[in-house]
Amino acid sequence: MFIDIPNELEAALIDLPLPTWALDGSFLTKATRERYRTKLTATPRFEETAATLWQALNGEGGGYAVLRLGNLAKALGADDRFLRLATGFAAEVALPFSPFPRWPLWKDIGVKVDKDPGKSSGIGYNAFHMDLVNGTLPPDYTTLLCVRPDPLGGGPSILSDAHAAVARLSQDSRALLAEPAYHYGSFFNLFGVGEEYKPFPILDGSAPGEGFVRFTAKMLQRSELRQAHADAARELAEELVRGQVSFMLQPGDYLIVNQRRFLHGREALRSGQETVPVADRRLLLQLFLRARAGDDSTA
């Protein structure tokens, strides 16, 4: 699931000036996507690399990928030119958009020592979840671009195959998870993710191995659930941990997760974050993707 960029493609991308992107609402415009694709497909081995990325995310047994863009990040810095290249790769997968009108296309996820430790910008364990779990149309893909890892060596990413975890549950637990009994979080000032879904089922009634597994471990502590439903969700949480993979993102690594297949999270950062200058702390940039109409990538 780790995809290296061929040397000849790296060399071409370093010298490739992509235009500034434009948005239609919160979505990358069709014109921008077409301009990016025209320029990128003219570079050597780009289409081959994009096809490898697509297969890792949507092929049998796939669901996530890490595109190793570290050499490009080193050559260009984490500036607009580099972000345009990352956006161009993302646009080969699906439609880039921001569900948060108050944020730009790419959202910063830094480290705040006074934040709830379990939040994405906190310093503690960020348990398995899908992003925008309580929207009727969650992003089909969530992506994280590593600008800086934790300089103290903590915070590896964790991922788990949600459907494989569900398949290991008892039939009774799966039946409980299919009931619209779960809720989590607030829902306001969002774009492109449908309406608020409350309460929602964790299993959406799709055939086994398909559809979203609408899960966030945070609801076990922050939502009032009937005991039976909480126990079923807790059993799923344990199976997700049992099947997890973990790895440390390096500068320039671009993690893309198919939310219809995998859930994600993060181990705790190393203690001592308050001693690290804010400008040196872990920093990720997040971008969301919506599958194109008629796209069979999530089937």
Tell me the per-residue pLDDT of 164-219, one tens digit each, with 9 for 90 and over: 999 999 999 999 999 999 999 889 999 999 999 999 999 987 788 889 999 999 99
User: How far apart are alpha carbons 43 and 102 in whole angstroms?
Assistant: 35
Exposure of 23 by Cβ count < 10 A (0-12 exposed, 13-18 middle, 19+ buried)?
middle
> In the chain, what are the domain boundaries?
2-290
Beta bridge partners of 68: 4, 253
Q: Which CATH number fits domain 2-290: 3.30.70.2860, 3.20.20.390, 3.30.499.10, 3.60.130.10?
A: 3.60.130.10
* pLDDT tens-place string over residues 72-115: 999 999 889 999 999 999 999 999 999 998 889 999 999 999 99
pLDDT of residue 299: 36
Is the N-terminal amide bond of 99 cis, ω within 30° of 0? no
pTM comes to 0.96
Of 286, 281, 272, give the one whose Cα is nearest residue 107: 286
pLDDT of residue 185: 86
User: How far apart are alpha carbons 286 and 104 in whole angstroms?
Assistant: 10
